[in-house]
Structure 1
Amino acid sequence: MRSRILPLALAALLVACGGCGARAGTGGKPRLTAAFYPLAWLATQVAGPGFYVQNLTRPGAEPHDLELTPRQVIDVGESKLAFYVKGVQPAVDKAVRQHAKDHSLDAESVVTTLPAPQDEASDGAVDPHLWLDPSRFATVATALGERLARIDAENAAGYRTRAAQVVTRLNALDAEFRTGLRACARKEIVTGHAAFGYLAARYGLTQVGVAGLDPEAEPSPQRLADLTGLVRRTGATTVFTETLASPKTADTLAREAGVRTEVLDPVEGVRPGSHDDYFSIMRRDLATLRTALGCS
């Protein structure tokens, strides 16, 4: 019985609340709900002063683990736009499917996607980590600007202008990566989980994920043994860990293979109080890759 009561209660609250989300706690602005950090960052850049941008994932939290509160589900339903990447956060996918199908933007829907790692792709799953390719993220920025321009036609020029400015910066970042990773002694990047497929594909690298798309997945002992041999054969010097996920498995692999660990940030979130943003994290990742791969 309880499982039926909660959806009914949420539906009642959505009807009763109407557009109250645009009035309570938003400064009178329409609400744009963004699923997690890179989307919230992009939404803020493109929306400017026209929208209140709400990040559904708190700073420092692992976005894959997000569970929405009833209030957040209501926020998704009453927002002018729910901005997400399908496949990253099941709770957000469900909230959009049930309450925001007609006012949502899935970033995956506007770019060419890559398949999930081979051992996870049997059901046709795709890799959702598209923001790690600045060129694809630029395409998302343009699409977001156009969507906001349709929602708020009176201020359409501002959304399109800000989107174009972000695209220019993302294209410049893409050029930095292409130049910085053009001539490297090694091409394999051994990562804690397989978040860097888009980055690897864009810049001619080969991703070797200790785990799959789920950062909490535990590889089998045989998988760890195979990876240890691969690290030794390729001459890799580094196993990359992350900022928001446990480094335990990557540390074990590095110890077995006799190499070091370094942080390669998948830009899925920032820690509370951090002054980082998308660009500073991506440029730090570039510097880390250049050192680890012996790039000239």
Structure 2
Amino acid sequence: MTVRSAPRALAAATVALLGLGGLAACSDGGGGGSDPDRVDVVAAFYPLQFLAEKIGGDAVRVTNLAKPGAEPHDLELNPRQVGQVADAELIIYLTGFQPAVDEAVEQNGGDRAFDVAGVQPLLDTAAGGHEHEGEEHGHEESGGKDPHLWLDPTRLATVGDRLAERLAKIDPDRAADFTARAAALRTELTGLDADYTRGLATCQRREIVTSHTAFGYLAEHYRLEQVGITGLSPDAEPSPQRLAEVAKEAREHGATTIFFETLVSPKVAETVAREVGAKTAVLDPIEGPPADGDYLSAMRANLQTLRTALDCS
């Protein structure tokens, strides 16, 4: 969650005002009631789109504000997207993750917004981390909250249950369908959680060195220790001191893999990997849609990557 500069904040506010000034009509039919047979849902980024589609089924039409291949943290909304937010019957977002979406919801969301950050308490940014006295991580979010709750499938299941309740209020005639789909998704996510628990139970190492600290929920839930090269902002530049600290810790723990993610340059991870004689691999924070498959398949791919990197039996 990059701190927004004044010009960017002003630009976002201008866009929001333009949306209020009549550009909502440009939302390509995204307005509430444009399809009387489906609930018009706007999702702020991919995991929330996944939830809405799995639980809503053919009773919803879902628009994802974050485009494929784009880093969702720093999403800026154009007038068309502001119109979609203004017209939606339900807006699913996570406060603090995308400042431009927060602003649009505050100005245009009303009582149609569902903030998943309020379903369960969020972890502190240091959760799942491996701290040493005197370390300086350079986290501009120090003391803040980690939004990446979807990397713990048990938490995502609970969000799904609450989403089903919210959809049922909008479309009571299909309440039973929403509840049934949420229960089916919970079963899938429970199975995924069991696979992770078994798959990571016995490993030679438990430290994961990541390009940025997106994996606190996964690390805490499965008893791993995350060593982040940078903080929660994936585009932050680590200091030379931080790079040296991470390289030292990677050597101490015998790390064979330095992880980078799908939507961010691997250069920083490659720098550390060269320094310690390790290789690099992708660990997907699933902030955007996977190239193949969905959230479930991406999480299973992450599990296999972790098992290989940590020498799990």
- Map of 1:244 onto structure 2: 263
Question: Are residues 1:295 and 2:312 paired?
Answer: yes
Q: Match for residue 96 of structure 1?
A: 105
Superposition deviation, residue 51 in structure 1 = 1.4
Distance of aligned partners of 1:252 and 1:245 in 2 relative to their CA distance in 1, 3 Å threshold: same
Confirm or deny that 1:150 pairs with 2:161. Answer: no
State how far apart, in whole Å, the 1-side matches of 2:241 and 2:26 are: 54
After TM superposition, list the pairs within 5 Å mapping 1:1-296 onto structure 2.
Answer: 7-13=16-22, 21-22=30-31, 29-117=38-126, 120=139, 124-270=143-289, 274-296=291-313
Q: CA deviation at 1:4?
A: 8.2
Is the contact made by 1:22 and 1:30 (CA closer than 8 Å) also made in structure 2?
A: no
Q: For residues 154 and 15 of structure 1, what CA distance do their matches in structure 2 show?
A: 28
Q: Which has the higher helix share?
A: 1
Contact 2:196 2:222 in 1 (8 A): yes
Structure 2: segments with no counterpart, 5+ residues: 1-9, 127-136
3-state SS, counterpart of residue 192 of structure 1:
strand
What RMSD in Å do the two structures reach over aligned CA positions?
2.5
For the Cα contact (< 8 Å) 1:185–1:295, is it kept in 2? yes
**Residue 167 of structure 1 aligns to which amino acid in structure 2?**
R
Alignment deviations for residues 226-272 of structure 1 (CA, whole Å, 9 cap, x no partner): 1111000011111001111111111101111111101111111136x
After TM superposition, the structure 1 stretch with the greater mean CA deviation from structure 2, 46-55 or 193-202, is 46-55
Using the TM superposition, give the Cα deviation of residue 26 of structure 1 relative to its aligned residue in structure 2, in angstroms.
5.8
Identity of aligned residues (%): 50
Structure 1 residue runs without a partner (length 5+): none
CA deviation vs aligned residue, 1:20-44 (integer Å, no higher than 9, x gap): 6347986863310001111101110
Shift of 1:13: 1.4
Label 1:139 to 1:178 Cα distance change in 2 as closer, same or farther (>3 A). Answer: same
Once residues 295 and 17 of structure 2 are traced to their aligned partners in structure 1, the CA distance between those partners, rounded to angstroms, is 39
Is the contact between residue 50 and residue 295 of structure 2 (CA under 8 Å) also seen in structure 1?
Answer: yes
4+ runs of 1 displaced by more than 2 Å? 1-10, 14-30, 117-124
The CA deviation at 1:15 is: 7.9
Structure 1 153/23 Cα, relative in aligned 2: closer, same or farther at 3 Å?
A: closer
With structure 1 as the length reference, what TM-score do the two structures score? 0.92
Which one is further off, 78-87 or 140-149?
Answer: 78-87
| CA–CA distance in structure 1, aligned partners of residues 11 and 122 of structure 2 | 39
Instruction: Between 58-67 and 253-262, report the one with greater CA deviation.
Output: 58-67
* Number of aligned residue pairs: 294
Instruction: For residues 52-78 of structure 1, give each alpha carbon's deviation from its aligned partner in whole angstroms, at most 9, with x where no partner exists.
Output: 100111111111121111111111121
State the alpha-carbon separation in 2 of the partners of residues 119 and 14 from structure 1. Answer: 41
